[in-house]
C-alpha cells in the first residue's frame, strides 16, 4: 500500500531518523520543530528537545510556532534564558544536534540566513542569524532543512551567516571551532551527507519518486551521486504519530 504524505512530513521523518537516545536536540521554527518533536516521539524517547530561548524538555502537547512560543515553556524540566541555553549547545559533556533552516547553502554546508545581494543594500533581507551562527559554531552536529532549488544550493553564498565545514577538509577545526560541522541536509527531494575527508556535500538518499537527475538539476554545484540510495518512505505508524500526536492541529504537517 502506498501512503500519501507531504514534503514536510517526509523531511521531518528523514531528519528525525538521525536522532538517537541521549541526544540533546536544538530546534528552530517550522519543519525543524516537527522533526525534533517527531524524533522524540518516534525514534529517541530519551532525547531531549530544547530551545535557544531557554526552554528545556517541554511537553510539546501542541506544536510551537516560534522558539519563544509559550508552548516551549510548558511542562519543561527548567525554564531559563538565552545564555543558559547556549551553555548547553556547546557543552563539552553533551552531544547536541541542531536543526536549522536557511535561504542558501553551499557545498560545505555553510548557511546564509541574512541577505541576498549586497549586504548593505540587499535585494532580499532575511531575519539574520538569530541563534543559528551560535549553534553552528558550538553544536556537535547540524542538520539543515532546505527547499531543493538551484538558487538555494549555490557555489558561493551571498553572506555566510553560519559556518558548516567552512572551506572543506580540516578548515573548520583550523578556525578554532573544536567540534561540530554539517551532519546532513534534508530537502524536499532527498538527504545529503558530507564526505568524511573533503567535507563536500554528496547525495545520500533520494525520496521515492524523485530521480537523481532532478536533484542534480536543482543543485547549483556538482554533487557526487555515486553513493545515492532510495530513501525509506514514512511508515504508517510514523505518519500516524506525526499527524495525531506531534502536530494534531496540522499547522506544519499540511504544507
Partner 1 sequence: MAKNAEISDKLMTLEAAVKKFIKNGSQISLGGFTIVRNPMALTYEIIRQGIKDLHIVCHSHGQALDVLIGAGCVKRLEIAYGGSGRYAPTCIRFKKAIQQGQIEFEDYSNYQMSLRFLAGALNIPFIPTKSGLGSDLLNYEGFSKEVRKERKVASKKFDMIQNPFTEEKDDVVLLPALNPDVTILHVQYVGEDGTIRIKGLTFADIEQAKSADYVIVTCEEIVPRSFIRLDPDQNSLPPFFVDAIVKVPYGAHPTGCYGFYDYDPKHLNMYRVIAEDDEKFKKYLDEWVYDIKTHEDYLNKVGAEMLIKLKANPILGYAVGLDRR
Could you tell me whether strands 24-26 and 48-50 are parallel, antiparallel, or unpaired per DSSP bridges?
parallel
- The 8-class DSSP code of residue 242 comes to I
Minimum CB distance to partner 1 smaller for 227 or for 250? 250
Question: Rounded to an integer, what distance in angstroms lies between the CA atom of residue 177 and that of residue 185?
Answer: 20
Among 122, 141, 220, 233, binds partner 1 (CB under 8 A): 122
Q: Which stretch binds partner 1 (CB under 8 A): 12-20, 91-99, 220-228, 246-254?
A: 246-254
Near partner 1 by CB under 8 A: residue from 41, 94, 126, 225: 126
CA-CA distances (angstroms) from residue 151 to 99, 124, 187? 21, 13, 14
Q: Cell 553513493 appears where?
A: 227
Q: Say if CB 5 and CB 254 are below 8 A apart.
A: no
- Residue 147 binds partner 1 (CB under 8 A): no
Report 156-185 residues binding partner 1 (CB under 8 A).
Answer: 159-163, 166, 172, 175-177
- Judged by CB under 8 A, the stretch of 39-47, 124-132, 145-153, 180-188 that binds partner 1 is 124-132
Q: Which stretch binds partner 1 (CB under 8 A): 78-86, 180-188, 213-221, 226-234?
A: 78-86
Burial 87-99 (b: 16+ CB within 10 A, else e): ebbbeeeeebbbb
Buried b (16+ CB within 10 A) or exposed e, 207-223: beebeeeebeebbbeeb
Q: Does 68 bind partner 1 (CB under 8 A)?
A: yes
Sign, Cα dihedral of 233, 238, 240, 246:
negative
Return the range that interacts with partner 1 (CB under 8 A); candidates 8-16, 36-44, 130-138, 205-213.
130-138
Strand partners, 99: 143
What lies within 8 Å, CB to CB, of 156 at 6+ separation is 106
| Contact predicate 142/100, CB 8 Å | yes
Rounded CA-CA distance 134/52 in Å is: 10
Decide if residue 119 touches partner 1 (CB under 8 A).
yes
86 binds partner 1 (CB under 8 A): yes
What minimum distance in Å lies between the beta carbon of 192 and partner 1? 21
Of the listed 52, 237, 238, 245, which one is catalytic?
Answer: 52
- The least distance separating partner 1 from the CB of residue 116, rounded to whole angstroms, comes to 10
Q: CB-wise, 18 or 159, nearer to partner 1?
A: 159
In terms of DSSP bridges, do strands 24-26 and 96-101 run parallel, antiparallel, or are they unpaired? parallel
One of 132, 184, 223, 228 touching partner 1 (CB under 8 A)? 132
Annotation says 52 is catalytic: yes
What's the closest the beta carbon of residue 56 comes to partner 1, in angstroms?
Answer: 10
Residue 79 is a binding residue for partner 1 (CB under 8 A):
yes
Q: Which residues are catalytic?
A: 52
Please report, as ranges, the residues that interact with partner 1 according to CB under 8 A: 29-30, 52-55, 61-62, 64-75, 79-83, 86, 90, 114-115, 119-134, 136-138, 159-163, 166, 172, 175-177, 249, 251-252
Amino acid at each position: 500500500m502506498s501512503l500519501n504524505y507531504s514534503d514536510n512530513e517526509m523531511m521531518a521523518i528523514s531528519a528525525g531518523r538521525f536522532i538517537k537516545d541521549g541526544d540533546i536536540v536544538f530546534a528552530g521554527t517550522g519543519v525543524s520543530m516537527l522533526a525534533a518533536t517527531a524524533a522524540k516521539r518516534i525514534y529517541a524517547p530519551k532525547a531531549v528537545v530544547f530551545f535557544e530561548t531557554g526552554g528545556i524538555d517541554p511537553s510539546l502537547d501542541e506544536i510551537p510556532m516560534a522558539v519563544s512560543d509559550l508552548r516551549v515553556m510548558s511542562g519543561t524540566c527548567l525554564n531559563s534564558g538565552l545564555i543558559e541555553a547556549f551553555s548547553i549547545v556547546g557543552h563539552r559533556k553533551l552531544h547536541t544536534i541542531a536543526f536549522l533552516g536557511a535561504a542558501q547553502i553551499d557545498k560545505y554546508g555553510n548557511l546564509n540566513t541574512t541577505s541576498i545581494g549586497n549586504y548593505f543594500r540587499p535585494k532580499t533581507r532575511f531575519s539574520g542569524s538569530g541563534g543559528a551562527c551560535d549553534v553552528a559554531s558550538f553544536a556537535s552536529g547540524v542538520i539543515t532543512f532546505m527547499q531543493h532549488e538551484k538558487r538555494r544550493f549555490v557555489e558561493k553564498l551571498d553572506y555566510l551567516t553560519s559556518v558548516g565545514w567552512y572551506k572543506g577538509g580540516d578548515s573548520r577545526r583550523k578556525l578554532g571551532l573544536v567540534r561540530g560541522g554539517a551532519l546532513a541536509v534534508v530537502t524536499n527531494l532527498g538527504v545529503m551527507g558530507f564526505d568524511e575527508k573533503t567535507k563536500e556535500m554528496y547525495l545520500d538518499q533520494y525520496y521515492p519518486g524523485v530521480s537523481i537527475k532532478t536533484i542534480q538539476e536543482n543543485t547549483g554545484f556538482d554533487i557526487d551521486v555515486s553513493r545515492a540510495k532510495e530513501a525509506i518512505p514514512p511508515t504508517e505508524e510514523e505518519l500516524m504519530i506525526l499527524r495525531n500526536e506531534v502536530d494534531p492541529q496540522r499547522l506544519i504537517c499540511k504544507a
